[in-house]
Chain A
Amino acid sequence: MSEKKNLPIGGVITKGGTAHEYVTGGWRKLRPVLDKGKCTNCLICWVMCPDSAVIVEDMCPDSAVIVEDGKMIGFDMEHCKGCGICAEECPDKVKAIKMEEEAG
């Protein structure tokens, strides 16, 4: 039973995966920038990204780190909120992610 404006009663969200529709990219002050030359594709950043903003293709679609064929290819900037955890967690010997000030 739903009522006014067809909102499901009790605020129940009646399907899964809707968190992806909630865009958190607007919160970002710092933007992660990947140096592909240094990256070893260990995917630690993909694991650690709290917003799942590291994109790995064929893996969790909610990740904001983008990976294709098991390779780290970048960030989903609609969801990356710029926390810098990926840059912090990228192994010391590699340090392939730098956080840069967002323009404006």
Chain B
Amino acid sequence: MATITTTKGQAGLTGNSAIAYAMKQINPDVCAAYPITPSTGIVEEFSSYVADGEVDTEFVTVESEHSAMSACIGASAAGARVMTATSSQGLALMWEMLYIASGMRLPIVLTDVNRALSAPINIHCDHSDSMGARDSGWVQIYSETVQEAYDNLFQAVRIAENENVLLPVMVCLDGFITSHAIENISLIDDADVKEFIGEYKPEHSLLDTDNPVTYGAMTLPDTYIEFKHQQSEAIVRAKDVVSKIGMDFGKKFGREYGLMEKYRLDDAEAAIVILSSAAGTTKVAVDELRKAGTNVGILRPRLRPAL
């Protein structure tokens, strides 16, 4: 099993190990996943936590990502706290089910380790996988570093389950650059994680036979638009919820997150808008350019879709 050793609360972890560890701390009721490069490590390590009895999670091994998301949807409709992870073609294969998860307003949390879509086949990072899902009704949060990816996962649970949102949330981090690079990060105590995310109290459960409900019933044009409107309003409200929870996270753990990060932006004459890990390299370039007398800055959005 994966043993994590910390020195003064710090541990050197890859992005994948950090996400698997965060999932262990969250201890979801159900995880259904089909591993794919470069997110394989998440599913592998998390399944070790399951096998070693370190979590109570029901781990569902499936034959495809389409089935992974289908199982997540069923479990979430049954009232479970549900998590999964994927990348690239895996997310693409989930596409049909992504809309069902968001349409049914199921607060599933998915980690997408960003990887380019084929062809030509490429296991490394670009954002074409999650950008294809940008308008699927999921809230997407992009992470620059391993630390941020780890921190984002806890916030994602709160955002998804917030009664003003109730939408699935995708935490994105860059394939290999973040998923496989080891970074020294601060870990949060299990008890603090538990307190921060709280207990999930679903409004409905398919397993509650005394209060039977139907998910996924047919709607015709007179009501379909109303449900889509509700979803769109929830995405708009997610903006405030993401900032509120990012601030709350900062108060509790000292690392505050906003809707976007501004780096040397206030007096900048030119700026670059950039997502995720590339912002790290760009910060170095900005510092160099500033030393050479050019006033440049960075705007790094964390939340998609942009509102």
A residues touching B (Cβ–Cβ < 8 Å)? 1, 3-5, 7, 9-18
Contact = CB atoms under 8 A, between A and B. Distances in A.
Contacts of A9: 105, 166, 227, 230, 234
Interface of B: 103-106, 163-164, 166, 203-204, 211-217, 219, 223, 226-227, 229-230, 233-234
Contact of B166 (A10, A13, A15): A10
A12 B227 contact: no
Nearest to B233: A3
Given A10-B166, A14-B204, A3 B230 contact: yes
B230 A15 contact: no
A18 B230 contact: no
Contacts of A17: 212
Contacts of B233: 3
Contact of A12 (B163, B164, B213, B229): B213
Contact of A14 (B213, B227, B229, B234): B213
Nearest to B105: A10
B105 A13 contact: no
Contact of B103 (A5, A7, A10): A10
B73 to A, nearest CB: 11
A44 to B, nearest CB: 28
Contacts of B104: 10-12
Given A1-B163, A3-B233, A11 B213 contact: no
Q: What are the 3 closest A-B residue pairs judged by CB atoms, nearest first?
A: A16-B212, A10-B105, A13-B214
Contact of A18 (B106, B211, B214, B216): B214
A12 B230 contact: no
Contact of B215 (A1, A12, A15, A16): A12
Contacts, number: 56
A7 B213 contact: no
B217 A13 contact: yes
Contacts of B216: 11
Contact of B226 (A4, A16, A18): A4
Contacts of B166: 1, 9-10
Contacts of B213: 12-16
Contacts of A7: 223, 226-227, 230
Nearest to A4: B226
A15 B212 contact: yes
Given A1-B166, A11-B217, 16 more contacts: A1-B163, A1-B164, A3-B230, A4-B226, A4-B229, A7-B226, A9-B230, A10-B103, A10-B104, A10-B106, A10-B227, A11-B216, A12-B214, A14-B204, A15-B212, A16-B214
Contacts of A3: 230, 233
B212 A11 contact: no
A26 B277 CA distance: 59
Nearest to B214: A13
A14 B214 CA distance: 7
B217 A4 contact: no
Contacts of B106: 10
Contacts of B211: 14-15
A12 B206 CA distance: 11
A77 B215 CA distance: 28
B204 A11 contact: no
A61 B73 CA distance: 30
Contacts of A11: 103-104, 215-217, 219, 223, 227
26 contacts: A1-B163, A1-B203, A3-B230, A5-B223, A7-B226, A7-B230, A9-B105, A9-B166, A9-B230, A10-B105, A10-B106, A10-B215, A10-B230, A11-B215, A11-B216, A11-B223, A12-B104, A12-B214, A12-B215, A13-B217, A14-B211, A15-B212, A16-B212, A16-B213, A16-B214, A18-B214
